[in-house]
Amino acid sequence: MKLFKFAQSRSLWMMHFCTGCGAVELPPTMTSRFDMERFGIIPMATPRQSDLLLITGYLTVKTLKRVVRAYEQMPTPRYVIGFGSCTINGGMYWDSYNVIKKLELYIPVDLYINGCMPRPEAIIDAFLKLREMIDKGEANAWKKYIENYEWYKKNQAEVFDVEKWSLKK
């Protein structure tokens, strides 16, 4: 079982949900300059294959629906990294009418990287921190989603137009 834990922390397949500006900082992290593949982290194509969801930047209500759906498709154990100020408190969109301010209310987050935008060094640092957390058994946010499922669904339903999207069915 120790071997499985070792494998889980050393092999993270990532799906980056690039909603906007974050897409600029990730290519240098993946390619020759910063090379995140040396830590066993590679981008994957679909949520079913990935362990790590990277939310880069602001989320509108419309994209949040897609994020929740992608998150629920990922097999457990799954990890979420909130990337940039927008996922923490809304960032520069703090007074926007259709951007969510706190990602934590809708899906559980293991780790935040602050900054607008964070540099690739900060992203690599966050990946190493997540690896450390998995080794110690601290990256358990996915359990929170299962235990408090009703609460998360209630928060999601508050921002979605329930009548229009018929989420209650």
Partner 1 sequence: MSILYFFLYLLLVTIIGLLYMGAARKITAHIQNRYGPPVYQPILDVLKLFAKKDTASHGIMHSLGPVIAYTGIAATLLFLPLGNHTPLLHFNGDLFVVLYLLVVGPLGMALGAGESANSNATIGIARALSMMLGYEIIFFMATLPVFYHYGTASIYRVIQAQGAFPDWAAILFPISFIAGLFALQGLMGEKPFELVVAPHEIASGPMVEYGGKYLGLLQIWHAVGIIVETGLFVDIFFGPQSILWFFAGTFIVFFATVIVNAVMPRFRIEQAVRFYWGLPLLLSILGILQVYIWR
User: Which tokens hold the place of 24?
Assistant: 């600029």
> Least distance to partner 1 from the beta carbon of 87, Å?
24
Query: Closest CB to partner 1 among 3 and 95?
Result: 3
User: Which tokens hold the place of 160?
Assistant: 């979605």
Number of other CB atoms surrounding residue 152 within 10 Å: 20
Query: Closest CB to partner 1 among 88 and 107?
Result: 107
| Residue 3 lies near partner 1 (rule: CB under 8 A) | yes
| Residue 144 lies near partner 1 (rule: CB under 8 A) | no
Kind and range of the H or E run holding 127: helix 120-136
Q: How far apart are CA 141 and CA 87, in angstroms?
A: 16
Q: How far apart are CA 41 and CA 5, in angstroms?
A: 16
| Interactions with partner 1, residue window 9-68 (CB under 8 A) | 10-11, 13, 31-32, 35, 37-40, 44-46, 48-49, 51
| Residue 136 lies near partner 1 (rule: CB under 8 A) | no
| Residue 75 lies near partner 1 (rule: CB under 8 A) | yes
Contact 91, 116 (CB under 8 A): yes
User: Which tokens hold the place of 79?
Assistant: 């990890």
* Contact footprint for partner 1 (CB under 8 A): 3-4, 6-8, 10-11, 13, 31-32, 35, 37-40, 44-46, 48-49, 51, 73-77
